[in-house]
Amino acid sequence: MTTVVPTPTPSPVAVLLDGVGAGYAGLDEDGTVREWNAAATALLGWRAADVVGRDLAELVVAPQCRGELRARLREVRAGADPAPSELRALHADGGQLPVEVLLGPAGWPGGSARYAVLRDAGERQVLTRLQEENRLLTAATGALVTQHEPDGRLVYVSPASLHVLGVEPAELLGVDVHGLVHPDDVQELYRREPDPGVPVELALRLRHADGHWVWVEALRTLVRDAAGTVVEVDLSARDVTDRRARDEQSSRESKLESLGRLSAGLAHEINSPIQFVGDNARFLADSYGELLTLIDTYRSLLTSGQPMDWDERVAAVRRLEAEIDVDDLAAEIPGAVEQTLAGIERVATVVRAMKTFSHPGHAEQVYADLNEALTATVTVTRHQVHSVADLQLDLGALPPVRCHVAELNQVFLNLVVNAADAVEDTGAYGSIRVSTAVDGDSVTVSVTDTGGGIPDDVRRRMFDPFFTTKDVGRGSGQGLPLVRSVVQEGHGGTVTVTSEVGVGSTFTLRLPIDGLPARDSA
C-alpha cells in the first residue's frame, strides 16, 4: 500500500515572494532547508523535494562560498541585521551562477527560524529589490516600519501601524513623528551612532490611537547622501509592551524574593545591638538610681544638724559606697555608654544601608557612587553571608557613574547572594571578594567566590529566565536574567563569567562611566 505524503501548505511569506519573483528558503537555526518556493526552483532548478531537509550551503552553494554563507548564518543567529551578499550558487543542471542572498531572522509564529531570499545577481537594481523584499518580510512579522525626513515628516509607514498604533498607514503620512513619540523619549530617536551608518537599537514609547503608550524596541538607521548629510531616518520597531510588563513583574518578584531571604538576617543585624543597648540602658538606669542615693547621702551628711564628727561621716559614706559597689560602677558605666553608642551606630548603619539599597532611584540615569552602593549591599547581606564565607571588599577609587543605581543595587545583591549559595553548597567555609576598578571609559565590578564552579551545561543556560539549579525556596531563576537585562539593556554594559569547577567563579560587570551612549541630534 502506497502512502501519499501531503504537500506542505506554503507559508504566506513564500507566496508573497513568489509574487515578486524572489526565491525563498525557510531555514532552521543550523541552515537546514524547511521551505522552498517556486521562484527559487525557477532560479536554480532545484525542486522543493530536492532541497527540503538538506543543508542549504552543501546543496545549493558553490564550495568556495560555503564558508561565507555559514559565517553569515552565525552572524544572523547572533543578532546581526539582514544584509545582502553575493555568492556563487550551484544550479541543478551542474552549472554555477551569481546570486544575491539576503539572510535574516524570520520570527513569524509557527514558521522557520531563518530565511534566505535569493535573486539573480545579474539583474540590475538587485539591492533595491532585496531591501524592498526585506521590508515585506518585516511587515509579515508584524514589525512597524517607518521612514521620516530630518524634520520629522513621515514619508512611509508599514501596514503594521494599524495593529501597533491603531492607525491606518495612510493617516500617518505627512504627520510629524515627534508627535507620536513620548516627550521623554524624543531624544532617543537621535541617539548618536557608534559609527556612521551603523544601526542603533532604541527603546521608546509611541502614542496609540486610544491614548495609551506603546513600548517598542526599534532599529534606527540614518540614511546619508554623498556629502554625509542625513536625508532620511528609517525605523523598524516591534511592540514589546507586554514583554516589558512581564519583565517589570519579574523584577518586582525577584526583589521581593531577595528581601524575603534577607529579612531574617536584617532582623538579627538590628536585634542584636538593640538587645545590648537595652541591657546597657537598664544597667545605666539602675546605676543612676544608686548614684543618686549616694549623692543624697553626701548632702544629708553635709547639712545634718546632728552632732557627728568627721570620722563618723566618712564611715557612713564608705558603708554606702561599699553597698552599691561604687568602684565597679565607675569602671563599668563608661563601657556601657561606649557599647550603647556603638550599638546605636550599628543600627543606624544598617538602616542607612537599607535606605541606600531600597531607594527607588530616578526615572533618568544619574551619576552615583557605586562603591557606596556596594558597601550598602554588603552591609545588608553580611549576616546571611558571614556564616558561610568571609566577605571582603576591595574597592578601587571610582568616579561617579551615570546609572540607575536602584537597579544596580538589585544586581549587586543577586550576585552576592548567589556567591554565598555557591560557597554554602560546597560544605566548607569559603570567601567572597567584591572588587571595583576603572578600565578606560568604564568601571568594572567583580564578585569572586570559592564555590564549586559552574558546569558548562549550566553556564549555557544560566541567563535563561526561570532556569535554576537551586532547591525550592532558594531561587526562582529570575536573578541572573535580571542581572543581564539591567547591565546590558539598561546600561549598555557587559556581563562576563569565568568559572572553574571545584575552584569557584567570577562574575564581572563592565559599565560605561557616562551611561548609555550619548544622544545627539541628527
* Ordered DSSP codes for 439-507: ETTEEEEEEEE-S----HHHHTTTTSTT---SPTTS--S-HHHHHHIIIIIHHS-EEEEEEETTTEEEE
Task: Tell me how far CA of residue 157 lies from CA of 107, 144, 356, in angstroms.
Answer: 20, 7, 46
Q: What confidence score (pLDDT) does residue 87 get?
A: 86
This prediction's pTM = 0.44
Q: For 93-117, what is each residue's pLDDT tens digit?
A: 888 888 888 888 765 444 456 788 8
Give the residues across from 55 on adjacent strands: 32
Instruction: Evaluate whether 144-239 and 364-522 have a shared fold.
Output: no
DSSP string, 96-150: EEEEEEEEEE---TTS-SEEEEEEETTSTTHHHHHHHHHHHHHHHTT-EEEEE-T
- Please check the confidence at residue 522 and state whether its pLDDT lies above 50: no
The 3 state secondary structure assigned to 457-468 is HHHCCCCCCCCC
Report CA-CA distances (Å) from 252 to 200, 201, 361, 407, 409.
29, 25, 14, 11, 13
pLDDT confidence of residue 2: 41
Q: What angle do CA 270, 275, 277 make, to 5 degrees?
A: 95
Position with higher pLDDT, 472 vs 26? 26
Cβ atoms of 94 and 114 within 8 Å: the answer is: no
Annotated domain spans of the chain: 12-138, 144-239, 241-358, 364-522
Which residues contact residue 341 at a Cβ distance below 8 angstroms, ignoring those fewer than 6 apart?
A: none
State which CATH number among 2.60.120.10, 3.40.50.2300, 1.10.230.10, 3.30.450.20 fits the domain covering 144-239: 3.30.450.20
- The CATH homologous superfamily for domain 12-138 is PAS domain (3.30.450.20)
Give 439's strand partners: 442
Give the percent of the chain with pLDDT over 70.
79
Q: Is the pLDDT of residue 513 over 90?
A: yes
Whether residue 1 has pLDDT greater than 50:
no
The 3-state DSSP class for residue 54 equals: coil
Residue with more model confidence, 123 or 308: 308
- The percent of residues in the chain predicted with pLDDT above 90, rounded, is 19
- What are the residues whose beta carbons fall under 8 Å from the beta carbon of 520, sequence distance 6 or more? 190, 191, 192
Residues 6+ apart with CB under 8 A from 286: none
Confidence of residue 361 (pLDDT cuts 50, 70, 90): low
Cell numbers linked to 355? 535606605
When the candidates are 3.40.50.970, 3.40.630.10, 3.50.50.60, 3.30.565.10, the CATH number that belongs to 364-522 is 3.30.565.10
Residues 6+ apart with CB under 8 A from 271: none
Q: What is the distance in angstroms between the CA of the first residue and the CA of the last residue of the chain?
A: 69
Q: Which residue, 128, 101, 105, is CA-closest to 117?
A: 101
Helix H or strand E segment including 377 = helix 370-386
